[in-house]
Amino acid sequence: MTRLENRVAVVTGAGSGIGRETAKKLEWASAELGSVDILVNNAGSAIGPRNISWIKPQEWQATIDANLTAVYLLSRAVLGGMLKRGGGTILTISSGAALRPNMLGGAAYGAAKAGVRNLMSYLHNTFRNQGIRATTITPGEVNTPILDDRPRPPNRDERNAMMQPEDVADAVLLCCALPLRTVVEELVMVPTRMRDQSTDIELARWFGAPAHERQKTA
């Protein structure tokens, strides 16, 4: 990947899952952190109730902060330097919840992931002629630790049939390694096999609900 030689990449959320696999593929490009050529916004979280009826304001804000505000802050931090040097790549991992919102991702997570998709489109439309490549990767279910926070974590067979972190990391690498004259504005990825999520969605509907509300369905 000679196009990535001597270029510095920062990957957020690189401790596990997609972030770790992406870091393996990108951060060999430079041994020391200097000017940032590539920013991969991958960090995020989906915890707490999925149903907007039960999400407390502080839970909503925490989800927005982790999945949207952090992307704004980091993108803003590197943008000035990229513009001075004549270009750079900002890539953000969104979610299928941005395109197909439901109880599984939840109200706050879906809204935040839709927000980062919009933010990347803004960067693309505003700064493309100044050499900024802004890309959104929108994956469906990926076998990452974030699934452990679901009301019903998928079992081993279900996880094996999903996309794996290295699949998304390969897509990140593709987008970053293309010639600078080319940008992937958005890339949507889904597992080849579609699984039945109806039980998971129904469980998510009542996850975090007050006891008296859950009793109504008993």
DSSP string, 172-190: HHHHHHS-TT----EEEE-
User: Are the C-beta atoms of 125 and 175 separated by less than 8 Å?
Assistant: no
- The pTM score is 0.85
User: Are the C-beta atoms of 73 and 42 separated by less than 8 Å?
Assistant: no
DSSP SS3 for 138: strand
Among all residues, which ones are annotated catalytic?
109
Domains of the chain: 2-215 (3.40.50.720)
Question: Where is 88: in which H helix or E strand?
Answer: strand 88-93
- Per DSSP, the chain holds a count of helices (H) and strands (E) of 8, 5
Amino acid identity for residue 96 in this structure:
G
Q: What is the pLDDT along the chain (218 residues), one digit of tens a residue?
A: 556 676 777 777 644 554 455 555 547 433 444 578 999 998 778 778 999 999 999 999 999 988 998 899 889 888 998 999 999 999 999 999 999 999 988 999 999 999 999 999 999 999 999 999 999 999 999 998 888 888 889 999 999 999 999 999 999 999 999 999 999 999 999 999 999 999 999 999 998 888 877 656 65
Burial 171-186 (b: 16+ CB within 10 A, else e): bbbebbbeeeeebbeb
Chain center to CA of 114? 10
